[in-house]
Amino acid sequence: MPVLPPPSSLDILVGRTVANASDPEPLQVVCSWPLSGQYGGGSRILYYVLVAACVLARKTEWLRNACLAAALIFPATAAIHAIVLASLHTDDAIDMDIYGALQMCSIGILTAPATVRLSRTYFNNPGRNVLFVWTVLVVAGLLALTVEFFRTEAKDCRDSTGRPVYHLDNFPGDTKQNCSLVCEEGNPFSPMRTGSADNINLVPKPYYLTFGAATLVAAASCVPGILSMVSIWNKIAKLNWSKQFGTPDVDEVIEGTNGATPRGMKTVNDVIRRLLSVVEIPVVCAIPSLFAEED
């Protein structure tokens, strides 16, 4: 009886690939500090109420000023916190405060500049210059969050023999015994988490708003902020020009165009602005739901 030829290397490689593809992925965990109280449910609900009041009651001066001042503090503080967290990055652990800071900054950057852009009541107030500086600060915080989320990675949970663990019933208790990762008070160390705040634990990696998705959200949230800064700066420049040289004729044909006038261009800009505002509304409504699911 003739000897059967050995299988080709390609068959072996394909067989191994199929076998590996059918294996479940090991449990992904991260060593993390929990969300701080400043980003808790009460703070977020208060922030939502303040943002809604800024948008809906922008023509009521006494309510507008109080709500706007309070609403701007939350994202500004979160942006500074995000910059500090990115500066004091720890490779072996993640501070879940970056999710809280992302929520505050992303909602604030979508609502506050849009309110100023759509309302003459806000824009004619000298406080618009403060809002411009505030927008720069929040965009810087979002960029810091983008970097922090991008360099955060989850690790495979493995037992003491190095075999992958696929399921654990109890978090965080079982992870300290079965994942073979060092995650205890003081190790890893962060100067932002000392004393009673150093309650670090191993937890499953985020499922709904993953690190990659959060990176995209943080980066995308910078776009409205940058556009808002350009828009506010352009309006301030036009206002200063009008004060110095007078208001130009809105029906005068713009040189180098095919009959375009400032009045016609303003109409086009208003239509585009309304369309962009329609896009911002579902985005602002969707961001809190993502964080609620993650909690």
With respect to residue 136, please indicate whether it lies within any of the assigned structural domains: yes
Beta bridge partners of 28: 156
Give pLDDT tens digits for 89-105: 888 888 888 999 998 99
Distance of CA 58 to the CA centre of its chain: 25
With respect to residue 114, please indicate whether it lies within any of the assigned structural domains: yes
Q: What average pLDDT does the structure give for the chain? A: 75
Confidence of residue 144 (pLDDT cuts 50, 70, 90): very high
Distance of CA 160 to the CA centre of its chain: 37
**Under a CB-based contact definition with an 8 Å cutoff, are residues 93 and 32 in contact?**
yes
With respect to residue 226, please indicate whether it lies within any of the assigned structural domains: yes
Arithmetic mean of pLDDT, 147-157 = 87
Give pLDDT tens digits for 183-217: 777 678 888 887 777 778 888 888 888 888 899 99
For residue 215, give every residue at least 6 positions away whose Cβ sits within 8 Å of its Cβ, in sequence order, or none: 146, 149, 150
pLDDT (0 to 100) of residue 39: 87
With respect to residue 2, please indicate whether it lies within any of the assigned structural domains: no
Exposed, middle or buried: residue 145 (CB in 10 Å: 0-12, 13-18, 19+)? buried
**Under a CB-based contact definition with an 8 Å cutoff, are residues 44 and 288 in contact?**
yes
Instruction: Indicate the number of domains in the chain.
Output: 1
Arithmetic mean of pLDDT, 125-134 = 75
**Under a CB-based contact definition with an 8 Å cutoff, are residues 165 and 178 in contact?**
yes
With respect to residue 64, please indicate whether it lies within any of the assigned structural domains: yes
With respect to residue 16, please indicate whether it lies within any of the assigned structural domains: no
Check residues 134 and 111 and name the one with the higher pLDDT: 134
DSSP the chain: -PPPPPPPHHHHHHHHHHHHHHSPPPPEEEEEEPPPGGGSHHHHHHHHHHHHHHHHTTT-HHHHHHHHHHHHHHHHHHHHHHHHHHHT--TT-EETHHHHHHHHHHHHHHHHHHHHHH-HHHHTSTTHHHHHHHHHHHHHHHHHHHHHHHT---EE-B-TTSPBP---SSTTHHHHHHS----BTTBS-BTTB-GGG---EEEEPPSSS-HHHHHHHHHHHHHHHHHHHHHHHHHHHHHHHHHHH-PPPTTSPPTTSSS--HHHHHHHHHHHHHHHHHHHHHHHHHHHHHHHHH-
| Residue linked to tokens 């806000």 | 122
Structure tokens at 194: 């000392």
With respect to residue 89, please indicate whether it lies within any of the assigned structural domains: yes
Measure the CA–CA gap between 69 and 253, rounded to whole angstroms.
42
Domain that residue 171 falls in: 24-250
With respect to residue 37, please indicate whether it lies within any of the assigned structural domains: yes
Check residues 275 and 206 and name the one with the higher pLDDT: 206
pLDDT reading at 250 higher than 90: no
**Under a CB-based contact definition with an 8 Å cutoff, are residues 169 and 159 in contact?**
no
pLDDT (0 to 100) of residue 11: 45
